[in-house]
Structure formats: C-alpha cells, structure tokens
Amino acid sequence: MGGIVTLVSETPHEDLVRYLEGVGFVVRALRTSRGAPREGTLVWLTEHHSAEGPVVETVRAWLGAKSALRAIVVTDRPARFRDLAEARPGRIILLPAPAFGWQLVDALRDGTGTS
C-alpha cells in the first residue's frame, strides 16, 4: 500500500496521478496546498518560474510539528531548496526535475533522494 500523496502543481499532471494511483497511492492533486489535509506526503512540482520563498514557507507550514509528515520538492534548481531540506533532515527530499514517476515512487516509499 502506498499512502496518501498531496500533489501540488500549477499545471495538471493526470498521467502522473494515474501512475501513482496505479501503484497504490491515494493522490490529491491540487494547484495550491491551501486547504490540503495535513497527512501523508506533500509533493510539490515546481515550475521553472516558481519563486523559492512561497514554496519554502508553504512546505515549512505544511510539515509543522507533525513528525510523520514528509515533503518532496521536484525542482529544476535543487540548490535553491538545500537549506530547507537540511533544516528538516529526513523529512524533506529534493528531486531534480524532470523526475520520472518511478523516481517519485522510490522517494515516496523509502525516503531516498537528494537532500
């Protein structure tokens, strides 16, 4: 069984949602994390033009003090988010974009990735 994934992206990713659901994840696909239930793993697919600040603030707020929550940030510039990942070791994973579905599944299942 996969678990719950809140997938945040400005653009729809129906193929990725189907892929994740096909391997056992429950996926909530949203354009913003606002109002998303705080459970499972937050996966943020940043866009090339995404500003770092709002992503960092949202991920920090979403994780809060709930130690069971994790976040994965998929970005074309992982170095911009290194401080965020280092501040929450083991809770935030950075994946360089473009990330394939299987890479995301590996990160969701065992917490590996670039951090």
Tell me the domain boundaries of the chain: 3-110
> For the residues 3-18, what does the mean pLDDT come to?
93
Total Cβ atoms within 10 A of residue 49: 6
3-110 is classed CATH 3.40.50.2300: yes
> For the residues 63-84, what does the mean pLDDT come to?
91
> For the residues 62-85, what does the mean pLDDT come to?
91
Is a pLDDT exceeding 60 seen at residue 104?
yes
pLDDT of the residue at 70: 95
Task: Classify 63 as helix, strand or coil.
Answer: helix
> For the residues 71-91, what does the mean pLDDT come to?
91
Hey, what long-range contacts does 81-84 have (CB within 8 A, 24 or more apart)? Answer: 81/52, 81/55, 81/56, 84/56, 84/59, 84/60
Whole-structure pTM value:
0.89
pLDDT of the residue at 26: 95
Count CA atoms within 13 Å of residue 18 on its CB side: 4
11-69 per-position pLDDT tens digit: 889 999 999 999 999 999 998 777 777 889 999 999 887 788 888 988 998 898 888 89
Task: Classify 96 as helix, strand or coil.
Answer: strand
